[in-house]
Structure 1
Amino acid sequence: MKRLGLLCLCLFQLSCISQNAEKINGVSFVGSREKVSQEHVDPILDVKANYAAVMPFGFARHLNSPNVVFDTERQWYGETRQGAKQYIALLRKNGVKVMLKPQIWIWRGEFTGDLIMKSEEDWKTLEESYSKFILTYAKLAEETKAEIYCIGTELEEFVKNRPQFWKDLIVKVKNIYNGKLTYAANWDEYSRAPFWMELDYIGVDAYFPLTPERHPTIEQLKSGWQRWKTKLKSLAEKYEKPILFTEFGYRSMDYTGKKPWLVDENEMDVNLKAQADATTAIFEEFWREDWFAGGFVWKWFIHHNRSGGSTDNRFTPQNKPAENVIQSFFNDY
Structure 2
Amino acid sequence: MARRSFSRGVLALGAAGTLLIGAAAWWLAAGNDDGMRPLLEGGIRSGNLSTDYVIETALDDARRLELNAVNVPVAVNVADSRASRFELDEASLDKARRIIPMLHARGIRVLLEPYPWIADGSVAETAWNPSEPEAFFRHWQEDVLQPLVRELAAPLQVEAVVAASNLVHLESRSGDWIRLLKELKAQYGGLVTYKTNWWYTADWDEASLAAFRAKRDNPLWAEVDFISVAAYFELTDKLSPSTAELKAALRHAERHGRGQDVPAELEELAQRWGKPYFFGELGFPAREGAASEPWNSAPSDAPDAKLQARLFEAYRDAFRGRESFLGYSVFAIGEASPDKRYYPSEESAAVIRSW
Q: TM-score, normalised by structure 2?
A: 0.76
1:168 is the counterpart of 2:179: yes
Taking a change above 3 Å as real, the CA distance of residues 62 and 286 of structure 1, as seen in their structure-2 partners, is same
- Give distance in 2, aligned partners of 1:136 and 1:194: 26
Which of the numbers 67, 71, 77 marks the counterpart of 1:59? 77
Report what 1:215 is aligned to.
Answer: 240
**Would you say the 8 A contact 1:268–1:313 is kept in 2?**
no
1:238 is the counterpart of 2:272: yes
Residue pairs, 1:1-333, within 5 angstroms: 23-32=43-52, 36-37=55-56, 40-72=58-90, 77=91, 79-80=92-93, 82-107=94-119, 108-118=121-131, 122-131=132-141, 132-139=143-150, 140-160=152-172, 162-188=173-199, 190-191=215-216, 193-226=218-251, 227-263=261-297, 265=298, 267-302=300-335, 306-307=336-337, 314-317=341-344, 319-329=345-355
Taking a change above 3 Å as real, the CA distance of residues 58 and 253 of structure 1, as seen in their structure-2 partners, is same
Deviation at 1:276, TM superposition (A): 0.7
**Would you say the 8 A contact 1:276–1:321 is kept in 2?**
yes
Describe the SS at the equivalent of 2:196: strand
**Would you say the 8 A contact 1:301–1:307 is kept in 2?**
no
- Give distance in 2, aligned partners of 1:26 and 1:181: 16
**Would you say the 8 A contact 1:253–1:313 is kept in 2?**
no
**Greater shift in the superposed pair: 21-30 or 45-54:** 21-30
Q: How much is the aligned-residue C-alpha RMSD, in angstroms?
A: 2.2
Describe the SS at the equivalent of 2:70: strand
Deviation at 1:99, TM superposition (A): 0.5
User: Residue deviations 1:188-225, cap 9 Å, x none?
Assistant: 27536431111111110000011111111111111111
Describe the SS at the equivalent of 1:296: strand
- Give distance in 2, aligned partners of 1:237 and 1:146: 27
Gap runs ≥5 in structure 2 = 1-38, 200-211, 252-260
**Would you say the 8 A contact 2:118–2:124 is kept in 1?**
yes
Taking a change above 3 Å as real, the CA distance of residues 67 and 43 of structure 1, as seen in their structure-2 partners, is same
Report what 1:9 is aligned to.
Answer: none
Describe the SS at the equivalent of 1:323: helix
**Would you say the 8 A contact 1:56–1:103 is kept in 2?**
yes
Q: TM-score, normalised by structure 1?
A: 0.81
- Give distance in 2, aligned partners of 1:136 and 1:230: 38
**Would you say the 8 A contact 1:66–1:123 is kept in 2?**
yes
- Give distance in 2, aligned partners of 1:241 and 1:30: 28
Deviation at 1:125, TM superposition (A): 2.5
**Would you say the 8 A contact 1:151–1:181 is kept in 2?**
yes
Sequence identity, in percent? 23
- Give distance in 2, aligned partners of 1:260 and 1:249: 7
**Would you say the 8 A contact 1:271–1:313 is kept in 2?**
no
Describe the SS at the equivalent of 1:49: coil
- Give distance in 2, aligned partners of 1:181 and 1:60: 23
**Would you say the 8 A contact 2:53–2:333 is kept in 1?**
no
- Give distance in 2, aligned partners of 1:320 and 1:230: 30
Larger Rg: 1
Gap runs ≥5 in structure 1 = 1-18
